Chains A and B, each alone.
Chain A
Amino acid sequence: MSRILIIDDDINLLQMVKLMLERVGHQVEIAKEGAKGLELAAQTQPELAIIDVMMPGLSGYDVVRKLREDPRTAPIPVVILTARSQPMDKEMALEAGANAFLSKPVTAQQLTERVDAVIRAGVRYRVHTGLLTEPIPQAAGEVPGVVTPVPPPLPHPTPPPAAPAARPPGRVPIGVEDQAQPADTLPVRLPVTTVISLRGGTGCTTIAINLALALAAETRRVCIADLSAVGGHVPLYLHLKPQHSWQDLLGQGDSPDPRALGGLLAQHQPSGVAVLAAPPRPADGGLSALAAQHVLRELTGTYNPVVADARQLDPAVRGALQVSSSVVVVMSDDPPSVQTTSQLLVLLGAMGIEMGRIRVVLNHVRPTFDVPADAIQKALKRPISVDVPYEPGQPVAIRRGVPLVSAKPDSAFAHSIQQLARTVVS
């Protein structure tokens, strides 16, 4: 339970948001205008403030700036909730010092997930759509246009989590078996999307590769990490012959130097996607959960996002899942796949992976239909995020090493992958 302050001049919305948050156990205070909200924030020191932009008198941006200027209120994380939901509004809100931006209308689930993520991350982090978390640059000018003055930490009811860089280098031995941390104690989510299927033949690697290329087409620097311990196929699909794989990291006593890690990556020239390959043959042992997290953390220093292809639930994949901002569960429409996916979702829940981070993708790998999508949704008790149509050109795409999002960018398959890309990364 956290104490949350809501500042909004729309009394109906104020009451509705208050109710949404109180139902999940938060203690909510409200203010109908910016000046009153600033007073209340200084007096009560809430753990989070939710602020509307469009208010008479002080606008939401003004309120955030004033909160950040006052040392008493500077450590309060802020979520902007507004009907002004255009890209420039989000930019303006983040520049003013907000930690997250939500556009109206908002569902109770979206609101509570974002609120929880922002409280967990603290004032030094921004939480984007898909709960993608990134540190706020400390110095003005570090990121063009960002002028957010982040104050020194003050006493706060919820201690801010350690930044990723706070982990002492060299403490995590690579290849040593260990357990990943419970999800609720993790410091930060990384811009990692783990694509997973525990049943073979569902097109998990195909989805992961096409997703990476779709993201790269949006001028992002993308890396795909093949976490398969039983012989990865990512290089095969891209016609690459990498000299190295993550197997080279096994047995190292220290965390890999970022430069050394960079040397393991192969480059897919047409798309610019970097590839961390899996060993071509089943590996003798695998990465530990902490080692996998360390590798992903290092990769996200250069690449945003990293797409991880996972086809088993070993310690490395468990570690990746816990730090991933989104998890894509790939399934096909045959009964065994439905059953496996249902069990995987239960397992992910038991691992503390919030359902809000998971997207289920139904990939039609055959031209015929088996279990209808409605029946699958009922069986899984959750919606299918993206329905990927059957694409007869898939085998040719693999043989030629040109994934379909590049070979047939106007196909229904490519459109569905682009839709998936939009849902996993904002």
Chain B
Amino acid sequence: MQSQASVRQGYVAGEFMTRTYRISGEVELRGVPVLDQLNDHNALFLSLERMFISPLLDPATLTGNFTHGEVRKDMLGIAVLSQWRDGLPLREGRYVGHDHVDHEVLVVVAGFEVTGAIRLHPSVNVPNFVRTTPEHFIPVFDARVTLTARRNIVFKGGAVLINRSLIEVFAMLKD
């Protein structure tokens, strides 16, 4: 039985980054959190509503807006969500719990440098988890994202969901 807190409804606003675009939009949850939608192996695209597009190198300028849009999930490098709770899956237990600990990490993914915390049970080996989890996207909490090509472009989010298949470098900042 799911706890009441984990059954999310409504919309979650987020920033979805490809190698060339910053796409802002809202994901309709219908009881399925953003992370689970991204990790749904049966769907190649993620549906966004009120979608606005900016070039990644000029990320504050709006170049297009659409009522609905579809983003191909395997082309996404990261998704930035402002609230860390919005980055949790329906089965929250993997990433949240009173006995979980924060492991500070650096992840270079699709031209972004992400620093933040992967929150797991102490018994889980973090590099093993990153190597072997079947999930496409994993959350990094309280994260700061720097665009490698333009280091003055920085994004911050309570949760940054990282496309594991596009990870170039992964490192633990503290053991």
Chain B residue numbers with a CB within 8 Å of A87 are 154, 156
Verify B60–A83 contact, CB threshold 8 A. no
Minimum C-beta distance from B8 to chain A (A): 13
Minimum C-beta distance from A92 to chain B (A): 4
Minimum C-beta distance from B153 to chain A (A): 7
Please, which residue of chain B has its CB at the minimum distance from the CB of A53? B62
Please, which residue of chain A has its CB at the minimum distance from the CB of B83? A105
Minimum C-beta distance from B144 to chain A (A): 10
Minimum C-beta distance from B68 to chain A (A): 12
| A92–B155 alpha-carbon span in the complex (Å) | 14
Verify A54–B50 contact, CB threshold 8 A. yes
Please, which residue of chain B has its CB at the minimum distance from the CB of A60? B62
Please, which residue of chain A has its CB at the minimum distance from the CB of B13? A83
**Mask of B56-88 contacts with A, CB within 8 angstroms, 1/0:** 000111100101000000000000101100000
Verify B13–A86 contact, CB threshold 8 A. no
Interface size on B, residues (CB 8 A): 19
Verify B155–A54 contact, CB threshold 8 A. no
Chain B residue numbers with a CB within 8 Å of A92 are 60-61
| A89–B153 alpha-carbon span in the complex (Å) | 11
| A298–B47 alpha-carbon span in the complex (Å) | 54
| A294–B44 alpha-carbon span in the complex (Å) | 62
Verify A54–B82 contact, CB threshold 8 A. no
Q: Which of B131-156 contact A (CB under 8 A)?
A: 153-156
Contact for B24 among A9, A10, A55, A83, CB less than 8 A: A83
Verify B60–A89 contact, CB threshold 8 A. yes
| A263–B137 alpha-carbon span in the complex (Å) | 57
Verify A86–B59 contact, CB threshold 8 A. yes
Total number of residue pairs linking A and B with CB closer than 8 Å = 41
Verify A54–B15 contact, CB threshold 8 A. no
B52 on the interface (CB 8 Å rule)?
yes
Minimum C-beta distance from A16 to chain B (A): 12
Contact for A86 among B15, B50, B65, B67, CB less than 8 A: B15
Q: Which of A68-108 contact B (CB under 8 A)?
A: 83-89, 91-92, 103-105
Please, which residue of chain B has its CB at the minimum distance from the CB of A92? B60
Contact for A54 among B52, B61, B156, CB less than 8 A: B52
A385 on the interface (CB 8 Å rule)?
no
Please, which residue of chain B has its CB at the minimum distance from the CB of A88? B60
Among B60, B61, B65, B154, which residue has the most Cβ atoms of chain A within 10 A?
Answer: B60
Q: Which of B73-132 contact A (CB under 8 A)?
A: 80, 82-83
Chain A residue numbers with a CB within 8 Å of B153 are 88
Chain B residue numbers with a CB within 8 Å of A103 are 82
Chain A residue numbers with a CB within 8 Å of B62 are 53-54, 59, 61
Q: Which of A8-62 contact B (CB under 8 A)?
A: 9-10, 53-56, 59, 61
Please, which residue of chain A has its CB at the minimum distance from the CB of B51? A54
Minimum C-beta distance from B26 to chain A (A): 8
| A59–B50 alpha-carbon span in the complex (Å) | 13
Among A10, A61, A86, which residue has the most Cβ atoms of chain B within 10 A?
Answer: A86
Chain B residue numbers with a CB within 8 Å of A61 are 62
Known: A84-B24, A86-B155, A86-B156. A54 touches B60 (CB 8 A): no
| A317–B175 alpha-carbon span in the complex (Å) | 46
20 contacts between A and B (CB under 8 A): A9-B50, A53-B62, A54-B24, A54-B50, A54-B62, A55-B65, A59-B65, A83-B13, A83-B26, A83-B82, A84-B15, A84-B24, A84-B52, A86-B80, A86-B154, A86-B155, A88-B59, A88-B60, A92-B61, A103-B82
Give the interface of B toward A (CB within 8 A).
13, 15, 24, 26, 50, 52, 59-62, 65, 67, 80, 82-83, 153-156
Give the interface of A toward B (CB within 8 A).
9-10, 53-56, 59, 61, 83-89, 91-92, 103-105
10 tightest Cβ-Cβ pairs between the two chains A and B: A83-B13, A92-B60, A88-B60, A54-B52, A59-B62, A86-B155, A56-B65, A84-B24, A88-B59, A89-B60
